[in-house]
Amino acid sequence: MARTGQMVLVAVVAAVVALGVVFGRSLLEGGSSLNSDSQTKQASKPSDSLTANDVPANRALLPAAGIAAAPGAAASATAQAQAPLSSGQGQQAALSPTSKPLGQDSSVSSTFRGVTDREIRFGISAPFTGPAKELGQNMKRGIEAAFNVANAKGGVYGRQLRLVAADDGYEPTRTAVAMKELYEKDQVFGLVGNVGTPTAVVALPYALDRKMLFFGAFTGAGLLRNEPPDRYVFNYRASYAEETGAVVNYLVKVRRLLPEQIAVFAQQDAYGDAGFAGVEKAIRSLRGGIESPILRLNYQRNTVDVEDAVAKLQQYNAQLQQKKRPPIKAVIMVPTYRAAAKFIEKTRDLYPDMIYTSVSFVGSTALADELMLLGKKYATGVIVTQVVPAVDGHSSLVLDYKSALAKYFPGEAPDYVSLEGYVDASVLIAALQRNGAQLDTEGLVGTLENLRDLDVGLGTPVIFSRSDHQGVHRVWGTQLDETGHYQPIDLQ
């Protein structure tokens, strides 16, 4: 009986062990199946560029709870966890899940600063506060309108275009901080639409030292137009020399003034210097290369302190009268809008027949608004040279711009500065599309230097080459009427 009982007990134990083995194997297979399904679902997701904020929580593929892992597997996992990571492995681990599903690379696929699978980041340093804030705000608005149009169509090779703005207040001392922020903190690919000449004196060397694209700056200064051109600098607009040259020729050949009857009202910095140099060059050309003195009336940047300029003009005209010489009959202005309006306000009654002209940087719409607040006599007849077609026109380009502005910035009025920003961005987008999906600065520079006869609707083609980094050389003439609207005029 005892022997028989022992035999039964052994049989029962054997049966229990057999059932445990079968049951355990079934559970293990079930756990493997679950993990396999999870992998399949993850692998089916499209691969995206990851940033620190996008990284999913680490998920180790461990055996199901309650199932004992094989002794060797546990030791192996412990060893892997304790093994030190190389620098590259550590960075990868910080950006990736612990286990990568088959066929999915979860590492950051960005290959160049400011470029990811999802976006291309550009920066702009401009005044968004202070007396010149309308210039920065309108330039930014125009660029973003064009970017939004492109993004709504899928972006550029699937990448969305983004503009990161830094406020420099139109002060060079703040520009250095703004540029450093865009480069180091925001990691932008390049700059587009930076506003100002005195600020470019600081921003340009910073960008060139770091081989950053410096595209479509809102300035016509010569420092951005070296011969041969700086590799990373591309301008859309005509230069101040071209704008002032066109208006000098207009005043002398169309309005029949003598060159000595022309004075210059200019900001006392690199911007004013550039415009004044353009007037000097144009008058010297008209005089067959002979130098002649030109009256320059100065004011300080970011102020409307024009009293000294007005007094100097009065004194100079009194001296001319004593010498029985013709008085100053035209003032070419190289200002911002508030200083220009204040100068006109202070001199219009003194010289009712004075012809006032300004370069495009003035901010045409803002100038018109300022003058109309003073009264229509201050606005009527003021001439502004432009580097884009008339905002009140009906060309395809202008209509597209107005449509984008109304859609993305409802309530904002069309403006020459924002139109220039829109054209800047449109040219840049065309270059990015022609460049191809693989994007880096050197490749885009090569694409731009071979951009020929690009038609964006200006009535003149945009052309770049290795020896000319200025896309357009045309200057348009406009003149304010008594209602405060600009009408096109022929400068020739």
Q: For the chain, give the percent of residues with pLDDT over 90.
A: 75
Assess contact for 49 and 110: CB atoms under 8 A: yes
Provide Rg for the chain, Cα atoms: 34
The CA distance from 166 to 202, in Å, is: 14
**Mean pLDDT, all residues of the chain:** 83
Q: Would you state the structure tokens that stand for residue 25, as one six-digit string? A: 């194997």
pLDDT for position 342: 98
pLDDT for position 62: 28
Q: Indicate the pTM of the whole model.
A: 0.77
**What backbone phi and psi angles, to 5 degrees, belong to 154?**
105, 0
pLDDT for position 292: 82
The CA distance from 480 to 418, in Å, is: 19
Residues of the chain with pLDDT under 50: 1-110
Tell me the pLDDT tens digit for each residue of 32-77. 333 333 333 333 333 333 333 333 332 232 233 333 333 333 333 3
pLDDT for position 152: 98
Residues 6+ apart with CB under 8 A from 53: none
Name the β-bridge partners of 192: 215
pLDDT for position 36: 34
CA-wise closest residue to 309 among 273, 278, 345, 362: 345
Residue 11 CB burial class (10 angstroms; 0-12, 13-18, ≥19): exposed
pLDDT for position 250: 98
User: The sheet that has 486-489: what strands, in order across it?
Assistant: 296-299, 262-267, 330-334, 355-358, 383-386, 476-480, 486-489
pLDDT for position 120: 98
Terminal C-alpha separation, the chain:
129
Q: Would you state the structure tokens that stand for residue 18, as one six-digit string? A: 């057999």
- Residue 53 CA, chain-centre distance (Å), reads 25
pLDDT for position 389: 95
Q: Would you state the structure tokens that stand for residue 54, as one six-digit string? A: 């996008």
